[in-house]
Amino acid sequence: MVRKFWRGLVRPLAGRQPTPFYLFSIAPIQEALAELDRCFGHLPVRHWLSCKTQPLRPLLQWWRKAGRPIEVVSEFELRAALQEGFPPERILVNGPAKHHWLPGQAAHGLLVNFDSLGELPTLASLAKKLGWTVGLRINTQQEFDPESPDWPTQFGLAREEFVEALKTLKRFNVTPQIAHFHLRTNVASPEIYRRALAEVAELCRASGFTPRFVDCGGGFPPPHVLTREGRRVDAGFSLREMAGVYERAMKQFSGVEELWLENGRWLTARSGVLVVKILDVKERRGLRHLICDGGRAMNALVSTWEQHELLPLAPRRGPNVPTTVTGPTCMAFDQLARRPLPRSLQPGDHLLWLEAGAYHLPWETRFSHGLAAVLWHDGRRVRVVRPKEDFDAFWGANFKTP
């Protein structure tokens, strides 16, 4: 069904929409939200749109009209949320070093999680003045650098810092209401969340902090995505098990009213595809190269550590042969995929790289070719919401004319 859905949307565009282009659809997001409601609907949970995973105007507009809240981690994301009409009380501000930019964008009624002791002298007084709902981000033992698991990340407050932050907020007459932690993307198991929640609950009890809200940051592993070694990233994950983890967590925190969830990638990865066209074909020592007009270096950085399904738009028959799908840049790094593909694929054929809805736009590069077009499917029709970048826009974006 997934293949049929995307092929059906892309087929009328082939030949008239310049490639490469991203195509995003609201339909998979609606399905994902329905799945979350089936599993967590009996719990007091609130789902936040993680803006950084898909900073796309029509998605923000749809999310706001549905009355849902948004989570932002930068000045530009906050400004985008405000410009698209999100009321400040539905905007949750996360991220590090906010004291360097948030004062210039401060609005009454925001929700703000403090990330460090360094943020407090500047932001605590603003929180009191502007009526912010504030929280503290805790660096749990479950949070570490995914590339170097022996080392912690740079985010949040260590145990001693958390206690000091509570004292500082008390001096400013600001009462925190949110306990926040964020693990990482592709959290492999509900057990990791269980341990993190238990650690946060113990720290809150020991410090005498009773949060109204527990913000469970981190991303469920999306379906249909494989590691570079070919393992499913969600092989050890279960939404039903997560429901049990949340049920136990509600009992661990005295007085908690809601659990906040920020599963941006799980929600949006399935909502987009990257469409590229084969420009040239070469064979090298038993390996076929399909050189396309889009690839890893410009459009799909996550292909560095993940495998996504890659579909020919028109089904091709015949034997599969070892094939590398590359982009048009001058780097051997620019490999979208390496796997057996039909030998019958030829220049002019379109390929669909699935699960391109999360982090692809934020990590997109020009690399001397310009940004790709962006198309949006609102459930009824497809429209261009950002045209493919031309030379004037490319050159003008880099240098001002004297």
Write out 196-241 in H/E/C secondary structure: HHHHHHHHHHHHCCCCCEEEEECCCCCCCCEECCCCECCCCCCHHH
Q: Enter the tokens of residue 397.
A: 């974006």
Determine the pLDDT at residue 286: 94
Expressed as residue numbers, the domain containing 364 is 270-398
Residues 185 and 125 in one domain: yes
**284-334, pLDDT tens digit by residue?**
999 999 999 999 999 999 999 999 999 999 989 999 999 999 999 999 999
| Residue spans of alpha helices (H) in 208-328 | 239-252, 264-268, 296-299
Listed in order, strand segments (DSSP E) in 84-125 are 91-93, 111-114
Residues 117 and 207 in one domain: yes
**215-239, pLDDT tens digit by residue?**
999 889 999 999 999 999 999 999 9
Residues 85 and 45 in one domain: yes
**Residues above pLDDT 90, as percent of the chain:** 92
Residues 61 and 152 in one domain: yes
Residues 209 and 323 in one domain: no
**Domain CATH number, residue 324:** 2.40.37.10
Burial of 153-175, coded b for 16+ CB within 10 Å and e otherwise, reads eebbbebebbbebbebbeebebe
Chain centroid to CA 200: how far?
24
Q: Is residue 241 part of a domain?
A: yes
Q: Give mean pLDDT, residues 116-124.
A: 97
Task: Identify whether the C-beta of residue 324 lies closer than 8 Å to the C-beta of residue 335.
Answer: yes
Least confident residue range of 78-82, 270-274, 389-393: 389-393
Residue finishing a domain among 212, 242, 268? 268
Q: Is residue 12 part of a domain?
A: no
Q: Is residue 13 part of a domain?
A: no
Residue among 352, 241, 248 nearest 294 (CA): 352
Residues 258 and 283 in one domain: no
Confidence of residue 188 (pLDDT cuts 50, 70, 90): very high
The residues, ordered by sequence, that sit 6+ positions from 41 with a Cβ below 8 Å of its Cβ are: none
Determine the pLDDT at residue 149: 87
Is 43's pLDDT higher than 90?
yes
Count of domains for the chain: 2
Q: Give mean pLDDT, residues 194-218.
A: 97
C-beta atoms surrounding 140 within 10 Å: 22
Determine the pLDDT at residue 401: 67
Q: Is residue 236 part of a domain?
A: yes
Determine the pLDDT at residue 227: 93
Residue finishing a domain among 215, 235, 268? 268
Q: Give mean pLDDT, residues 325-349.
A: 97
**Residues above pLDDT 70, as percent of the chain:** 100
Determine the pLDDT at residue 148: 87
Q: Is residue 313 part of a domain?
A: yes
CA–CA gap between residue 158 and residue 44 (Å, rounded): 28
Chain centroid to CA 368: how far?
26
Is 6's pLDDT higher than 90?
yes
Residues 62 and 107 in one domain: yes
Residues 254 and 301 in one domain: no
Q: Is residue 20 part of a domain?
A: no
Residue finishing a domain among 246, 268, 290? 268
Residues 115 and 213 in one domain: yes
Q: Is residue 150 part of a domain?
A: yes
Task: Identify whether the C-beta of residue 355 lies closer than 8 Å to the C-beta of residue 225.
Answer: yes
Q: Give mean pLDDT, residues 271-293.
A: 97
Residues 63 and 193 in one domain: yes
Residues 168 and 244 in one domain: yes
Q: Give mean pLDDT, residues 149-169.
A: 95
Confidence of residue 246 (pLDDT cuts 50, 70, 90): very high
Determine the pLDDT at residue 398: 72
- The rounded mean pLDDT for the chain is 96
Query: What 3-state class would DSSP assign to 37?
Result: helix
CA–CA gap between residue 227 and residue 7 (Å, rounded): 24
Determine the pLDDT at residue 354: 98
Residues 340 and 314 in one domain: yes
Confidence of residue 396 (pLDDT cuts 50, 70, 90): confident
Q: What is 150-193 written as a DSSP string?
A: TS--S-SB-HHHHHHHHHHHHHTT----EEEEE--SS---HHHH
Burial of 239-266, coded b for 16+ CB within 10 Å and e otherwise, reads eebbbebbeebbebbeebebbbbbbbbb
